[in-house]
Structures are given as C-alpha cells and as structure tokens.
Amino acid sequence: MFDFETLRLIWWFLLGFLLAGFAIFDGFDFGVAALLPWIARTDSERRVVINTIGPVWEGNQGWIILGAGAIFAAFPPLYGASFSGFYLALIGLLFSMILRPGGFKYRSKLQSPTWRSLWDHLLFVGGVVPALLFGVAVGNVLEGAPFHFDEWHRLFYEGHFLSLLNPFALLCGLVSVSMLVSHGAIYLVNKTDGVINARAKQIASIGSLVTIVLFALGGLWVAFGIQGYVVTGGGAWDGPSNPFTKTVALHAGAWLTNYVTYPWMILAPVLGFGGAVMTVRLVRSARPMWAFISSGSSIFGIVSTAGVSMFPFLMPSSSNPNQSLTVFDASSSHDTLMIMLISTAIFMPIILLYTAWVFKVMRGTVSGQYIDENSHSVY
Amino acid sequence: MMDIDVVSLARLQFAATALYHFLFVPLTLGLSVILGIMETTYFITKRPIWRDLTKFWGVLFGINFAMGVATGLTMEFQFGTNWAYYSHYVGDIFGAPLAIEGLMAFFLEATFVGVFFFGWDRMSRGAHLFVTWMVALGSNLSALWILIANGWMQHPVGATFNFETMRMEVSNFYDVLFNPTAQAKFVHVISAGYVTGSLFVLGVSAFYLLTRRNVDFAKRSITVAAAFGLCASLSVVVLGDESGYTAEENQRMKVAAVEGMWNTEPAPAGFNVVAIPDAQNHTNSFEVKIPWLLGLIATRSVTEPVPGINELVAVNEQRVRDGIKAYAALEVLRKDSTNPEARATLQQYQAGLGYALLLSKYTKDIPNATNEMISKAAWDTVPDVLPLFWTFRFMVALGIFFIGLFAVAFWLVVKKRLDGSRGFLRLALFSIPLPWVSSELGWFVAEYGRQPWCIDGILPTRLGASSLTTSDMWLSLGGFLILYSTLLIVELYLMVRTIRKGPEDYFKPHLASTPALAAAK
C-alpha cells in the first residue's frame, strides 16, 4: 500500500505524535505531582490535588508504554541505543515512576501525618525527576551521543551518566520541567476551586513565561552553541535499515538548516511559542479549558521542534557520526511498519474516544467537601 | 565478544523483576474477572450487597493493580536498557506485539480502571458494569499480547534473517500471531491468574467465616470463587497439558530436560515421577517411572517416541555444523553483498546460524571451530536438568491440589455446609500464597528451560545483553531489590490491614455519606 520511504516518514510523524501525547497527558501528572508539596499546604488540600489526577494517571501512563513500544517496534536500533546508552538516566526514570502508585494508592490509607508527608515528597520526586530526565535526554540526543556499532551491529556506548548532565542538556531539562509544571498548574486551574485555584493561576502564568524564555534560550544555544549533523552522502531513503551506508558531517547551526529546506517545519517552534503566549493570556479567562488546550499545543510545538530540527536524524553519534541513527536507516522492515500502522490506525481513534469519554465523566472540580464525603474511597 | 558477568547480572535482574512483576499480574487477571462477575450479579439482581462486594474486592484489586502497572513498565524498558542487542536483533518481530499490547490492551485497562473506582456515582449501573468488564478485558488482552511475544521467544516462527540489516525480520506475521506455543501459554497463564484470584477470594472469605464476621458477604464471595476457581483449576492443568504437547513439538529439548529423559525410549515413553538427574554422566542415578504416561501427554499416541536428551544433542551438533556454513557465508557477504554463492549458502543453512553463534563462547573464529568446540556447543543446548525436573513437579502437584481444594469448596457451597467445616476454611486461608508459588515455578520452568537461548535456536542469551559495565548493572539491580522489597512490604501490610478491617469498616462511612451525596445532587 505504501512504499518503504513513505512508511518510514509516517512512522517518524507518528513517533512525534505519540511522544507529544505522552508529554501532554503524562505531563500534567508530572506537573501536578511536582507542584504538590508547594501548592497544597494542608492534608485536605493535598488530597484535593492528588485526586484531581487520581482517576486518570494510570490511563495517562499508557502513553509512555505506547511511546516506548512504538520505538521498539518501529525503530528497534533506536530503542536499544537510547535505552542502554542513557542507562542510569532510564533507571532513575523508572525508579521515580515506580514511586507514583504508592503516592496515589497507599498514601491516604493510613492517618499518620509522617506517612502522608513521606508519600507527598515521593510523589514530588515521581513528578519532577521524569520531567527533568526526559528533557535532559532530548538535550543529549540533540548534541549527539558517543556510541558506535561493531560489524554485528552491536552497540557500544562510550559516555557516562554524569556526562549526560552537561549545561545544554540541563537547559533542555529545565525547559521540560517548566513546561510540564505550567501545564500541571493549568490542569489544576481547571480542576480545583478556592485557594489552590488561585495559587495555580499564579504558577501557570509565571511558569509559561519562564518556558518562553527558556525555550528561546535553547533555540539560541542550538543556533550558536552546539553543532548539528548533516547527511553528506549515501543514506537512501528506501534502503535497508543499516546505519553503515552513509556519511555525516558536523556543522555549527546545522540543526537550523531544515527550516530553510522545509519551511513548513517553522510551524513547530511557532506553535511552541504561540501556545505559551496564549496560555498566559487565557489562564485567567472565564474558560480556563482553552488555556489547557493552548498549553497542550505549546508542548506539542516544543516537542516537535526538537524532532523536526534533527530530521532525518533520530539519534546522532558524536563519536562516530557516520553511524548515526536516522529515520531511514534505523527503522523496522517494511512489513512491520505496515502492520504497526494498521494497528495504530484501528486502535488510536478508539483510545482517543474512550479517553475523551473518561475525561468527560470525570469532569468538574474536586473540592475539599468531596474529599471529606468520600474519605474512604478516594486517594 | 561479551563480558559474561554483565550477562549474568542482566539475567538476574530480568529474573528478579519478572518474578516480582508476576506477583501482581495473576491477581489482576483473576480478580478483574471476578469483579466483573460480581457486578454482573449486582446488575441483574439489583441487590446492594453485590455492589458492596464489587467495591470491597475492588479496593484490594486497586492496591495490587497499581504495582502491577508500575513494575510492568520495568519489564518493557528492560529490553532496551539491558538487552539492547536483543532489541536490535529481533525488535522487528518482538517489538510489534509489545506495542500492540499498549494500543489494544494496556490503554484500555488503565484508562477504565480510574473510572471503576471514581465513577460509581457518575454513571448508570449499566455503564459502570461496562467499565468493569473493560478493565477485565484489557487485563486479559494484555496477557494475550505479552504471551504472543513470549511465545515467539520459545518458538520463533514467521521470521527470517536479513544479512543486509544483520537481524531477524518478520516474514509471516500471521504465524507470529497464531503461534501454537503462544496460544497454549496464553490460556495456561490466564487460567493460572483465575486460580490465583479465586483462591485469594476464597481464602480471605474463609478468614471472615472463621472469625464469624461479614458472613453473608463471605458466603457470596465463596460461591463465586468456588465455581470460578474449579473451572479455572481444571483449565490450568488440562491446558497446561496442552502447553506440554505444543512444547513437545516445538521445544523437544525443554521437555526432555523437564522429564529428566536422557535417552529416547521405545514408545510410549514412561513418565518419571521421581528422579535424581546426573548431568555429569548424562543419566539419572535414581528414577521411579509410570509407564506410558509421558508418551501419551507429549505425542497423543502410543507409537511415537519422545526423543531423549542424548539424541537431541546429536541433532543439535549437526545444526551447529550447518550453522558454521551459514556463518562463513555471512562473512563473505559482509565484504561482497552480491556474491550469489554465499547468498545461496546462507539461505540453505540459515536455520543453523543461531547454533553457530553458540560457538562464540569458545572461539572468535567460528568458521574454524574444532570438533571439541562443536561438541561443547551442542551440549550447551541442554538446560539444567535437576532444577527443571523438580520445579516442574512441584508446580504440577500444586495444580492438582487446587483442583481438589476448589472441588471441596464447591461441594460445601452446594451442600450449604461451609460454616461447620472449620478445618477446610483454615486450609483455604493458609493456601492463599500457593497459586503465587506455582505461577513463579511455572515461569522458572518456561524461561530457565529456554536456556541457553534468548530466542530458541536463534539468539544465545549471552549475546543478547547490552554492552554495559558491571558497576552500572549492580547499581540498578541493587536499586530494584531495595525499592521493590520496600514496596512489597508496604503493599502486603496494607492488603492485610484492609482485609482485617474488612468491608464493615469500609462501608460504614460510605453509607453514612450517602444522604449527603444525594442532597448535593
């Protein structure tokens, strides 16, 4: 039905869609959890905040399962390279995410304030650490990671965890944290009333402004601070998935050339900035739902900006640039991409449909009164 | 080629995190269906007690479910973090079922589970019933796709080696989907989950009857658990036998090892009930046999022989020799990808390529491996007989015990004699951990019995791991052990606490708040 080249491009788009979906949906869980100890002071306030995401966080986690699964199925070499290369970062991510079920399910089962406060702080870790590490990972991918393959395509990674925490990557981490914290705050604006609502509005406005500044700073750094990668030869778009068949060069500012070659790509950063600006304007409006939508659009734009800037690269190699992974030499076979596309075309609309239904059923604000009345059944 | 310590640590971590994950999965599988049954009864009878039953067992379900989800994430990530070469080598086939699991199953259960807990007052009874069944459907479909992936590791069908990409690629996805090993495993595993859920409900309810609390509640729960558990325990044994039958066709070596059968016997083969396998001398130093039984289970005939280990090793030695030819052809193709002769040789001997890779343990120069190396590699295809032999027997014994337990429970329910049977109630209470024991033993047999392969006959385990440092691996393993142990203790504590407090504690405030809720509406 589709040729190999087209399928690879479709899957590159789908990957962006799924990762943006992850950032938007799991993102507000991370943001809310990161805000928990700061935005809610009393136990009742904290239970309100936790219960705003209580009914949906597990479903939202579906996006990371699906995102990782899609990388595995559609770009297997990328899966092995990024997950084993950024090993300790991924382990840290897992550990922090594994803390979350306790924070939701176990926290309010005991009365002890120490117990509850402990879980509140673990929830905070489970929110802020993933948000930071995902940004750091994207930063390192933009810089290129030190890896090479041997003749059996076995990957050898030459860097170490601490080198992941370099200044540019940390800036990307901060973009991610501020973007998701603002997003979480806007979610709380929609889901709470009273004092939490007022605090959330303030955080959302400031957070969105910080995101705009940090994102712009990141753009400048990409333009003048780090080198981008360019395919200089080979690398046929419909060739076998073998990262040994091309040559790659590094140039300062090369990550911006795509915006000249493919002018439509400029839409991504425009959406990133525009969405954040709109968020600031809308957060105090009568319909905060629109602020949530524009914040989601901003996240979609920011995530896409990283993706389109690197096209066709998925994960460049800094130590052996010719073996960088691209959309066209790190994909699955034609048949697997086709099978996965059909599955996605069938199930993605169904997922969106029932997710929308669940959000509709659970609509409305969570109040202190609601928590008191359902003290035993809510988190 | 690969530091063996890293491989051992990666295996240890996989085993530990998988066994831990499977502490939560079977209860999710079984309890989700039981919740569906209870709520269906509520929907039909409209009696509030059935709604309370659903809610209370739902609380216990929820404590367990969240941990299952969180530890499942580790399982998916681990293929990328610790088994990067595996991800590259078979990701084209193996990745798809995992991704489809996310699309079709995980999203479904995880999205609806929130509404299950929070949606009782927000929708009609019918809508909530639908939600509950969607959670059960999602959990069970999730098991289906994971076992399609796992079944492919045990019996890799529908895939061919592509030398241009140096990996296995899908050639027939239909075969991957309808892999008989995967289908048999799926039914076996979900039945085991149903047994776990039923015995959990039976045991906890027995505790209430023993302490004379919540009697109505407990009796109704036992009725569901006894009926469902009896069906499930029959299914797990009968279809476990089906799993043995397909394993015989596909994984003869595993069956031979599990049975401690060194030499091919004249058909129909006998079944060793007890044996002391002696791996050094390739024989059993002691055995007690039931004539005919194994032949019947494994071949469904009295004339077909079941091949023994010694004979299978001879077959595998030939495979190693064929594989060496494929490997040599591959080396030619790497320099000259159009060489027609090498292409033809690779095509012809492709099935042996994985066996040739077993030689990487002994030499870098595989095409010139000595006869001694080849013989060693062939013997490497024999898994550890002794632990497999005994874990399998414990698992089967437990399976048979469950049938008996549920049969008695069912009979007591029908005869309305539960109250007087305190001995039985105590037995049911103390049997709660046993389904977990048998599930973990089952996974040990399936996965340890697959050794030395990651993918049977295709990728040796020692080549599948990532190129990591042992210090990183120790760090992650240590972290997992500490984190997981702590969470397990907390989980068990809260489970026991919730059970001890019982439904009476849970529903008091709920009932008290009902008028307030009605007023709010």
pLDDT classification of B248: cutoffs 50, 70, 90: low
Find chain A residues with C-beta within 8 A of B14's C-beta.
none
Size of interface A-B (CB pairs under 8 A): 262
Partner residue facing B88 (CB), from A77, A90, A335: A77
| CB contact B500 to A (< 8 Å) | no
- Among A114-123, B88-97, B271-280, the range scoring the smallest mean pLDDT is B271-280
Residue of A nearest to B65 (CA): A101
- Contact list in A for residue B69 (CB cut-off 8 A) is 58, 61, 101
Cβ–Cβ under 8 Å, residues A79 and B466 = no
Q: Mean per-residue pLDDT for B500-519?
A: 58
**Angstrom distance (rounded) from CA B353 to CA B162:** 12
Place of tokens 């990024």: A82
In B143-162, the residues whose Cβ lies within 8 Å of chain A are 162
Say what the pLDDT of residue B515 is: 41
Q: Which of B5, B11, B160 is nearest to B89 (CA)?
A: B160
Higher pLDDT, B488 or B257: B488
A126 interfacial to chain B (CB closer than 8 Å): no
Interchain pair A68, B76: CB under 8 A:
yes
Lowest mean pLDDT among A242-251, B55-64, B242-251, B282-291: B242-251
What is the pLDDT at residue B243?
Answer: 67
Q: Is the CB of A360 inside 8 Å of chain B's CB atoms?
A: no
pLDDT band at B517 (very low <50, low <70, confident <90, very high): very low
pLDDT at B510: 45
Within its chain, how far is the Cα of B461 from the centroid? 18
B interface test, pick of A15, A19, A26, A83 with most B CB neighbours within 10 Å: A83
pLDDT category of residue B512 using cuts at 50, 70 and 90:
very low
Residue of A114, A148, A154 for testing the chain B interface, max B β-carbons within 10 Å:
A154
- The gap between the terminal CA atoms of chain B, to the nearest Å, is 69
**What are the backbone dihedrals phi and psi of residue A302, each rounded to the nearest 5 degrees, phi first?**
-70, -45
Contacts with A, B 318-337, CB within 8 Å? 334
User: pLDDT grade, residue B247 (50/70/90)?
Assistant: low
Round to whole Å and give the CA distance between A284 and A185.
Answer: 12
Give the lowest-confidence range in A226-240, B16-30, B129-143.
Answer: A226-240
- Band of residue B249 on the pLDDT scale cut at 50, 70, 90: low
Interchain contact, A68 vs B111, CB within 8 Å = no
Residue B420 has pLDDT above 90, yes or no: no
Q: Could A100 and B71 be called an inter-chain contact, meaning their C-beta atoms sit closer than 8 Å?
A: no
pLDDT given at position B258: 82
Residue A232's contacts (CB-CB under 8 Å, 6 or more residues apart) are: A246, A247, A248, A249
Burial class (CB in 10 A: 0-12, 13-18, 19+), A51: buried
Residues of chain A with pLDDT > 70, as a percent, come to 100
**3-state SS, residue B397:** helix
Contact call for A376 and B509, based on CB within 8 A: yes
Cβ contacts of B479 on chain A, cutoff 8 Å: 91, 95
B112: chain A residues, CB-CB within 8 Å: 59, 354, 358
DSSP 8-state code for residue B271: E
Q: Please tell me the predicted confidence (pLDDT) of residue B250.
A: 62
Residues of chain B positioned with their CB less than 8 A from the CB of A119: none
B33 shares contact with chain A (CB less than 8 Å):
no
pLDDT at residue A364 greater than cutoff 60: yes
Question: Do B96 and A339 lie within an 8 Å CB cutoff?
Answer: yes
Across-strand partners of A246? A234
Which of B101, B118, B463 to mutate: most A Cβ within 10 Å? Answer: B118
At residue B509 the predicted structure's pLDDT band, cuts being 50, 70 and 90, is very low
Report, as an integer, the average pLDDT of B336-346.
Answer: 89
Report the 10 Å Cβ neighbour count for B400.
12
> By the 8 A CB rule, do B147 and B186 touch?
yes
B99 at interface of A, judged by CB pairs closer than 8 A: yes
Confirm or reject contact between A234 and chain B (CB < 8 A).
no
Using CA atoms, how far apart are residues B50 and B67, in angstroms rounded to an integer?
26
Whether B507 has a pLDDT exceeding 80, the answer reads: no
pLDDT band at A374 (very low <50, low <70, confident <90, very high): confident
Query: Per mean pLDDT, which range of A175-179, B202-206, B270-274, B297-301 is the poorest?
Result: B297-301
Residue A59 is encoded by which pair of tokens? 């479903």
Q: What is the pLDDT of residue A198?
A: 94
For residues A140 and A137, give the distance between their C-alpha atoms in angstroms, rounded to a whole number: 5
Contact B103 A100 (CB under 8 A): no
Kindly report the three-state secondary structure assignment for every residue of B278-309.
ECCCCEEEEEEEECCHHHHHHHCCCCCCCCCH
* Predicted confidence band of residue B245 (pLDDT cuts 50, 70, 90): low
How high is the mean pLDDT of chain B? Answer: 89
DSSP H helices, B415-469, are 422-430, 434-448, 461-464
pLDDT in tens, A19-75: 999 999 999 999 999 999 999 999 999 999 999 999 999 999 999 999 999 999 999
- The answer to whether residue A322 scores a pLDDT higher than 80 is yes
Measured between alpha carbons, how far is B110 from B101 in angstroms, rounded to an integer? 12
Mutation target among B467, B473, B492, B497 for the A interface, most CBs of A within 10 A = B467
Question: Greater confidence, B498 or B292?
Answer: B498
User: Once rounded to an integer, what is the mean pLDDT over residues B258-267?
Assistant: 80
In this predicted structure, what is the pLDDT of residue B244? 64
- Look at A343 and B103 and tell me if their CB atoms are within 8 Å: yes
| Residue A10, pLDDT above cutoff 70 | yes
* pLDDT in the model for residue A219: 94
Give the rounded percent of residues in chain B with a pLDDT score beyond 90.
64
Does A76 reach chain B within 8 Å, measured CB to CB?
A: yes
Per-residue burial over B62-81, b = 16 or more CB atoms within 10 Å of its CB, e = otherwise: bbbbbbbbbbbbbbbbbbbb
Least confident of A300-314, B24-38, B335-349, B495-509: B495-509
pLDDT for res B519: 40
Spell out the alpha helix ranges (H) of chain A. 4-39, 43-53, 57-74, 76-85, 87-98, 100-101, 113-143, 161-164, 167-191, 194-224, 258-261, 267-282, 288-310, 334-361, 368-373
Q: CA angle at residue B414 from B412 to B415, to 5 degrees?
A: 65
Q: Is the CB of A57 inside 8 Å of chain B's CB atoms?
A: yes
Contacts of B513 in chain A (CB under 8 A): 373-374
DSSP for B44-105, written as a single string? HH--HHHHHHHHHHHHHHHHHHHHHHHHHHHHHHHHHHT-HHHHHHHHHHHHHHHHHIIIII
| Mean pLDDT (whole number) for B164-171 | 93
Residues of A in contact with B100 (CB under 8 A): 69, 340, 343, 347
3-state helix/strand/coil string of B107-132: HHHHHHHHHHHHCCCCCCHHHHHHHH
Chain A within 8 Å of B390 (Cβ-Cβ)? no
**pLDDT number for residue B152:** 94
Distance from the Cα of A262 to chain B's closest Cα (Å) equals: 30
Phi-psi region of B457 (alpha: psi -120 to 50; beta: other; left: phi over 0): left
Residue B516 predicted with pLDDT over 50: no
Dump strand ranges (E) for B149-220.
159-162, 167-170
Contacts of A361 in chain B (CB under 8 A): 115, 119, 122-123
pLDDT at position B513 is: 40
Residue A336 and residue B82: Cβ atoms within 8 Å?
Answer: no
| ipTM above threshold 0.85 | yes
How does A332-347 read in b/e, with b if 16+ C-beta sit within 10 Å? bbbbbbbbbbebbeeb
Which residues of A fall within a CB distance of 8 Å from B87? 72, 76-77, 79-80, 83
Token look-up 């770009």 returns: A75
Give B168's strand partners: B161
Q: Check if A167 contacts B (Cβ < 8 Å).
A: no
Q: With beta carbons under 8 A apart, name residues in chain B contacting A134.
A: none
What are the residue ranges spanned by the domains of chain A?
A: 4-373
Question: Are B506 and A376 in contact (CB < 8 Å)?
Answer: yes
> Chain B neighbours among A 135-164 (CB < 8 Å)?
151-157, 161
Taking a contact as any Cβ pair under 8 Å apart, which residues of chain A between 319 and 358 contact chain B?
A: 332-333, 335-336, 339-340, 343-344, 347-348, 351, 354-355, 358
Distance from CA of B282 to the nearest CA of A (A): 35
